[in-house]
């Protein structure tokens, strides 16, 4: 495995797309115990003023894992990140436009910061857009790699 | 679901809390499938121990998702402009999580009326696992 270094700042994963399907959203809602009707029922959502059922606040995490799949882990490996020792440190979402079922979201993951030291840290920026310039969500994710023995 | 109105809230005011748990291994299996995060530290005890962990640990994103439930039990998702968390500790199967939040600051910026909310997820012994920041655009 490559050794982690600041050289990976600016490295991008390959762009990918994820189409938001109602069934996949429902599976996520059920997994987190979300029962709020606006997420489940189009009529309830419309009555509350939404164009359709909105996705829950963190559903976009599935875009990467399902849209990019195991390549996410092998890319981390190729960046010099020991995925066995990886812990999630920070996750931030800036919501610009709502995402509804049927939307195909274009996704791009980029390394924006690396700190090498006692604890190694890597920060990624994920941009979720319509692929034509309209950004739905901007995300930042930071991970820490536990040193051996911790 | 009622819209959040700026005039209805004061700094220091709590938002409604949410309790979830105890977290079961099955919850993590379901979350893994739904999110697509199959990192075995969340679903394979032997693997987790070989990685130096006490056992399987909850996905940080599962706890964030539960925090998101707390948030939109209170505020419509379209009023949420920013939601960010820092993971402070591992959440383990068997733990019950308590999600609380407080209006930290009210401010008007570029004509927007914003409520800045600090969020906390702790186990029922009060050990903080996740801290969060939320910005709600109020009416």
Q: Which residue out of A53, A58, A86 would a mutagenesis test of the B interface target, given it has the greatest number of B Cβ atoms within 10 Å?
A: A58
**Shortest distance, CA A83 to any CA of chain B (angstroms):** 9
pLDDT digits over A30-87, tens only? 999 999 999 999 999 999 999 999 999 999 999 999 999 889 999 999 999 988 888 8
pLDDT digits over B79-104, tens only? 999 999 999 999 999 999 999 999 99
ipTM confidence score: 0.96
What residues of A are in the B interface, CB distance below 8 Å? 24, 27-28, 30-34, 36, 38, 48-50, 54, 56-58, 61-62, 64-66, 69, 73, 83-95, 98, 140, 146, 149-150
Residues A100, A46: Cα–Cα separation, whole Å = 12
Q: CB distance B69–A32 less than 8 Å? A: yes
**Interface check B66 vs A, CB under 8 A:** yes
């Amino acid at each position: 495995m490559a050794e982690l270094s600041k050289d990976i700042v600016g490295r991008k994963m390959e762009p990918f797309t994820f189409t938001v399907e109602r069934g996949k959203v429902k599976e996520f809602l059920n997994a987190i115990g979300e029962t709020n009707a606006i997420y489940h029922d189009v009529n309830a959502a419309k009555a509350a003023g939404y164009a359709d059922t909105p996705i829950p606040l963190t559903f976009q995490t599935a875009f990467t894992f399902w849209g990019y799949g195991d390549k996410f882990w092998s890319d981390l490996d190729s960046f010099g990140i020991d995925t066995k020792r990886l812990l999630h440190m920070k996750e931030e979402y800036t919501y610009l436009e709502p995402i509804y079922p049927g939307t195909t979201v274009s996704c791009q993951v980029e390394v924006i910061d690396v700190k090498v030291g006692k604890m190694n840290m890597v920060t990624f920026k994920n941009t979720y857009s319509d692929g034509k310039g309209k950004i739905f969500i901007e995300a930042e994710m930071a991970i820490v790699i536990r040193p051996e023995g911790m | 679901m009622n819209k959040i109105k700026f005039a209805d809230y004061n700094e220091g005011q709590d938002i409604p809390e949410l309790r979830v748990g105890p977290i079961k291994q099955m919850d993590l299996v379901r979350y893994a499938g739904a999110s697509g995060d199959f990192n075995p530290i969340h679903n394979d005890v032997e693997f987790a121990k070989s990685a130096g962990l006490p056992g399987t640990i909850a996905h940080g994103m599962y706890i964030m998702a539960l925090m998101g439930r707390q948030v939109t039990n209170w505020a419509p998702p379209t009023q949420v402009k920013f939601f960010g968390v820092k993971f402070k500790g591992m959440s383990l199967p068997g733990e019950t999580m308590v999600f609380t939040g407080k209006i930290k600051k009210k401010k008007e910026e570029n004509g927007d009326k914003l409520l800045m909310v600090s969020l906390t997820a702790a186990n029922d012994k009060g050990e903080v696992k996740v801290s969060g920041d939320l910005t709600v655009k109020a009416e």
